[in-house]
Amino acid sequence: MYKPSLLALLLAASCMTSAVAQEAPEKIKVKTKRKNKTEAPAATPEATKQAPVEADWALNYGQTITQADLRQHLTVLASDAYEGRETGEKGQKMAAEYISQQFKALGLTGPVQGSDNPYLQHFTMERSTWADGATLKVGGQTFKWLTDFYGTGNSPFQNETAVQPVFAGYGIEQDGYSDYSGLGDVKGKDLIILLGEPMNDKGTATLGKDGQPSKWGTDYRAKAALAAQKGARSIFFVDFSPNANFEKLAARMTPYIGRPSISFKDAQQAPRPVAFFVSPAVGYKMLGTTAANVTKYAAATGKAGKPTASTFKPAKVMLKAPKKREDFTTENVLGFLEGTDLKNEVLVLSAHYDHIGIINGEVHNGADDDGSGTVSVLEMAQAFTKAKAEGHGPRRSILFLTVTGEEKGLLGSEYYTDHPVFPLETTIADLNTDMVGRTDKDHEGKGDYVYVIGSDKLSSELHTILQGANQKYTQMDLDFRYNDPEDPNRFYYRSDHYNFAKHRIPVAFFFNGVHDDYHGPGDEVEKIEFPKMEKRARLVFFTAWDLANRDQRIVVDSNKK
């Protein structure tokens, strides 16, 4: 799953439980009366024949999704030989080839026209890395890259550039609170934004629910996204909190900052603003103020519960942050199963097969993220193709879509939805599987579960259908907590389903939550809990079966945040 945050790298852990066996549906029983001397003559054999029991084909084919098959595929894709499957690198290409060969062997159609391999949707990206020579000068003092400041994103400062920053407070805008209301138009401007959020004199968040942190206080990405909407050119984030340790954070982030960032070649949309993170010492210089004045501002804002005037006088800075750029190609992998009487409508089953590659010489294999989702899609493809081969194929068509570039910003799914092989207006839903092989801390020692995110955002029918599939077949705890629009993790926006949701296509995102090995070298096959993974993959399949075979296409009847 996409992890653009540079401030929180490691989250939650795992345990193991066993799967619950499915029970076969009971046979229908026909009651008959006891025969006696005064009864009418016995009925003919035709009259007493039992009604046939209709087979449950969903159950029949869902049971072909097995732990053994999931393990077999995952042992290949999450092996060291695939080098962490980083977008555009050797291992990602190997994974694309493996998945396309599996689709071909299953008898799926490669639907990509004009490609050298009809299962591969190629597209051109631009890879950029920070070049040597980045400097930040304030008031005659020169600050060093990775010691005093660092950045993420596409930098417009190839040569030394004069920058006049604008102080934008905490960079927050919501009902009753806006740091932007008094700033006017900030398009093309460079903003200084405080990390964190206003706190009252009791040390609790002013804007959160029941004193809990809000999304603004836990995730700088919400502020970056808002600044992007406002058209800012760059953002300088600074953390003045007592627990801030910029030197330690910069040292921990150095290997990640040195890795390439990726964007679309010749992107149509405006580039996202570059985000710089500066030390408190740099922050005081840039704001032309002191620690005492910053403390006073924070206290006044927290007490008022709204932005307050500051005495800061931002200084002009000279900034140079060059990047090296090169083009490369990457690819989504598509397998298509044509439906029957409703074949012009398409259901998408998606997962991302890329991961984050090799960092500091260690392979990050991403067995859970998202090897688990990728092999779940392969197993669902196997189940549906078997059903079709035996005369029970889906009424609607199904696109099995494994995408690249998710870890770089949901890029593969964005490319597909901007360049769809099948019209988006005929796409009925996307069921996205991203991390379904482990257990998070909140569910350790508890029964089988899965987080489901987004299923009620656009279609109430989709939400009801998956709950019905779970009740009938898998009986797991469906945890919907991350549907909360105020969820500070913002998971709804962090996996590939979101690019379908942006086009008002109903989505459901299946997820086991984060653990201590998330985006770490310990995300290995031996830690995958295959019984849980099997059950989660089957739930996605059972939901897909209903969507693909029901009489009416599900309705889009809501637009929740």
pLDDT tens for 522-554 read 999 999 999 999 999 999 999 999 999 999 999
* Domain presence at residue 242: yes
Residue span of the structural domain in which 136 resides? 132-321
Give the Cα separation of 410 and 335 in Å (integer): 20
- Whether residues 257 and 144 share a domain: the answer is yes
Examine the fold and report which residue of 288, 321, 354 is the final residue of a domain before the chain moves on.
Answer: 321
Higher pLDDT, 212 or 110: 110
Asked whether the predicted pLDDT for residue 9 surpasses 70, the reply is no
* Domain presence at residue 54: no
Mean pLDDT of the chain: 91
Residues whose CB falls within 8 Å of the CB of residue 545, separated by 6 or more in sequence, listed in order:
57, 58, 61, 62, 394, 469
Q: List, as one string, the DSSP characters of 424-481.
A: GGGEEEEEEE---SS--GGGTTS--EEEEESTTTS-HHHHHHHHHHIIIII--EEE-G
- Whether residues 217 and 339 share a domain: the answer is no
Q: Return the DSSP state at 179.
A: S
CATH number at residue 178: 3.50.30.30
Asked whether the predicted pLDDT for residue 408 surpasses 70, the reply is yes
Q: What pLDDT, on the 0 to 100 scale, is given for residue 267?
A: 65
- Token code pair at residue 61: 């084919």
- Whether residues 432 and 540 share a domain: the answer is yes
| pLDDT band with cut points at 50, 70 and 90 for residue 4 | low
* Domain presence at residue 38: no
- Whether residues 279 and 348 share a domain: the answer is no
Examine the fold and report which residue of 285, 304, 321 is the final residue of a domain before the chain moves on.
Answer: 321
- Whether residues 379 and 499 share a domain: the answer is yes
Give the Cα separation of 364 and 519 in Å (integer): 7
* Domain presence at residue 310: yes
Tally DSSP H helices, then E strands, for the chain.
14, 22
- Whether residues 358 and 217 share a domain: the answer is no
* Domain presence at residue 296: yes
- Whether residues 117 and 155 share a domain: the answer is no
- Whether residues 296 and 390 share a domain: the answer is no
Asked whether the predicted pLDDT for residue 30 surpasses 50, the reply is no
pLDDT digits over 351-380, tens only?
Answer: 999 999 999 899 999 999 999 999 999 999
- Whether residues 154 and 175 share a domain: the answer is yes
* Domain presence at residue 345: yes
The half-sphere exposure of 10 on its side-chain side, counting CA atoms within 13 A, is: 10
CATH number at residue 343: 3.40.630.10
* Domain presence at residue 392: yes
Q: Residue 336: which H helix or E strand, with range?
A: strand 323-337
| pLDDT band with cut points at 50, 70 and 90 for residue 218 | confident
- Whether residues 254 and 333 share a domain: the answer is no
pLDDT digits over 309-340, tens only?
Answer: 999 999 999 999 999 999 999 999 999 999 99
Higher pLDDT, 30 or 476: 476
| pLDDT band with cut points at 50, 70 and 90 for residue 46 | low
| pLDDT band with cut points at 50, 70 and 90 for residue 266 | confident
- Whether residues 174 and 117 share a domain: the answer is no
What's the mean pLDDT in 17-30?
A: 36
- Whether residues 257 and 372 share a domain: the answer is no
Examine the fold and report which residue of 321, 356, 391 is the final residue of a domain before the chain moves on.
Answer: 321
Asked whether the predicted pLDDT for residue 17 surpasses 70, the reply is no
Domain count, the chain: 2
Q: What pLDDT, on the 0 to 100 scale, is given for residue 291?
A: 96
- In 3D, which of 64, 21, 14, 15 has the Cα closest to residue 475? 21
* Domain presence at residue 304: yes
Q: Worst-scoring range by mean pLDDT, 47-51, 84-88, 376-380, 423-427?
A: 47-51
